[in-house]
């Protein structure tokens, strides 16, 4: 039985038993290379749920604080390894109610970077097939067919994944995948190129990258741990943290607010990177933050249910300061 069949079965069972009011999974989107979140309310509809390496959406974002709609609804949802860490981060702060959730964990073999795939073709992609494990076959409108190994087109964050299996789940769709070696410290070598720039070049780089930001709030809306979505200081006029002016300075500060507000809770799931319509490398900020947090506290966000995010607790023996 494939993982997809497991997901459908779990969803149908939970819906028909009344365990959940609706179930959130993934379904085929309007483009063949895009999956979209699916909200299934009827057991008869579960056949629209899919699971394949294009299901990149972090569905935890739909249940973040005050989100359950209607209030008090019982919700079922699918989580991948990285998604489950954001869910654990919310549970650590009691921002979601465990009792009202039904979580189907989906062990993940890595997600395909849709943009990377689309950039390889001039014509529109009309079909993406996965005939064998680790194999991707793409067909375009011009009849061109190309085969990829899944590893070639993986998301950057998946290449360094430490938790491919869900850390919190009521049911698991299929067998667990092989765990990477977690004895070693996380690999942050993707930041080295930026880190090695001189101060002047870093600023110039940030200015160049953030000049394109349109402040569409997509990064904030999809962020599962950015929980004050309804009272965001980025929208505040008093105090005015970010001005309305279209300006690189404001754009950068907008992102600084997001970064510092998710410090210690963001497990770098990469949802913001994938949502950004102008492809700003947001991972440079949140992964750096996680690198420093790991260096300071040996802490990885959203891993243990009984831990508190590092910035909400303290230790008398913290070695910081002079």
Partner 1 sequence: MADNKTTQASGAASGAAPGGGAAPAAAAPTPGLPGVSGDRPVKIVGIVCNWCSYAGADTAGVGRFRQPPNVRLVRVPCTGRIDPLFALKAFQKGADGVLISGCHPGDCHYSEGNYYARRRFELLERMVHYLGIPKERFRWTWVSASEGQRWQQVVTEFVAAVEKLGPREGRAL
Helix (H) or strand (E) holding 126: strand 125-129
As separate numbers, helices (DSSP H) first and strands (DSSP E) second, the chain gives: 10, 8
248 forms part of the interface with partner 1 (CB under 8 A): yes
| Near partner 1 by CB under 8 A: residue from 65, 257, 281, 294 | 257
Cis upstream peptide for 239 (omega within 30°): yes
Stretch that binds partner 1, among 25-33, 119-127, 168-176, 306-314 (CB under 8 A): 306-314
253 forms part of the interface with partner 1 (CB under 8 A): yes
- Polymer length of the chain: 322
The CA–CA distances, whole Å, from 309 to 133, 141, 303 equal 37, 48, 10
d(C-alpha 316, C-alpha 132), whole Å: 54
Report the residue number, 141 or 233, with the smaller CB distance to partner 1.
Answer: 233
Residues in 180-239 at the binding interface with partner 1, rule: CB under 8 A: 195, 197, 199-203, 205-207, 210
Report the residue number, 176 or 233, with the smaller CB distance to partner 1.
Answer: 233
Instruction: Count CA within 13 A, CB hemisphere, residue 189.
Output: 5
Report the residue number, 30 or 320, with the smaller CB distance to partner 1.
Answer: 320
Report the residue number, 61 or 255, with the smaller CB distance to partner 1.
Answer: 255
The CA–CA distances, whole Å, from 224 to 149, 163, 192, 267, 269 equal 30, 17, 27, 10, 9
d(C-alpha 23, C-alpha 39), whole Å: 6
Least Å distance, CB 217 to partner 1, is 18
Report the residue number, 6 or 261, with the smaller CB distance to partner 1.
Answer: 261
249 forms part of the interface with partner 1 (CB under 8 A): yes
The CA–CA distances, whole Å, from 291 to 85, 147, 201, 264, 301 equal 16, 35, 21, 11, 11
Give the pairing type, strands 101-105 and 145-149.
unpaired
Least Å distance, CB 249 to partner 1, is 5
Give the x-and-dash track for 132-151 against partner 1 (CB under 8 A). Answer: --------------------
Residues found near partner 1 in the complex (CB under 8 A)? 195, 197, 199-203, 205-207, 210, 241, 248-249, 252-253, 256-257, 259-260, 263, 288-289, 292-293, 296, 310-311, 314-316, 318, 320-322
């Amino acid at each position: 039985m494939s993982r997809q069949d497991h997901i459908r079965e779990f969803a149908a069972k939970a819906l028909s038993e009344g365990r959940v009011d609706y179930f959130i999974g993934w379904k085929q989107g309007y483009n063949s290379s895009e999956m979209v979140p699916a909200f299934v309310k009827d057991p008869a509809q579960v056949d629209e749920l899919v699971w394949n390496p294009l299901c990149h959406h972090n569905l935890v974002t739909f249940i973040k604080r005050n989100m359950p709609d209607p209030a008090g609804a019982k919700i079922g949802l699918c989580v991948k390894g990285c998604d489950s860490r954001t869910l654990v981060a919310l549970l650590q702060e009691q921002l979601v109610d465990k009792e009202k959730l039904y979580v189907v964990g989906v062990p993940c073999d890595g997600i395909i970077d849709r943009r990377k795939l689309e950039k390889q073709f001039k014509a529109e992609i009309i079909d993406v097939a996965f005939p064998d494990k680790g194999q991707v076959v793409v067909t375009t409108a011009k009849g061109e067919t190309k085969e990829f190994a899944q590893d070639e087109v993986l998301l950057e964050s998946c290449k360094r994944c430490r938790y491919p299996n869900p850390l919190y789940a009521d049911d698991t769709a299929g067998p667990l995948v092989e765990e990477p070696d977690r004895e070693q410290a996380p690999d942050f070598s993707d930041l080295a190129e930026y880190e090695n720039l001189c101060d002047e070049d870093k600023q110039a780089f940030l200015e160049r990258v953030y000049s394109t930001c349109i402040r569409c709030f997509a990064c904030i809306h999809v962020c599962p741990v950015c929980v004050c979505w309804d009272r965001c200081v980025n929208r505040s006029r008093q105090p005015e943290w970010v001005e309305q002016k279209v300006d690189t300075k404001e754009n950068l500060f907008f992102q600084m607010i997001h970064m510092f507000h998710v410090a210690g809770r963001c497990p770098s799931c990469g949802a913001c990177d994938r949502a950004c319509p102008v492809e700003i490398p947001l991972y440079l900020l949140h992964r750096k933050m996680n690198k420093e947090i790991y260096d300071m506290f040996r802490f990885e966000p959203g891993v243990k249910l009984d831990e508190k995010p590092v910035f909400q607790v303290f230790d008398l023996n913290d070695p910081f300061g002079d």
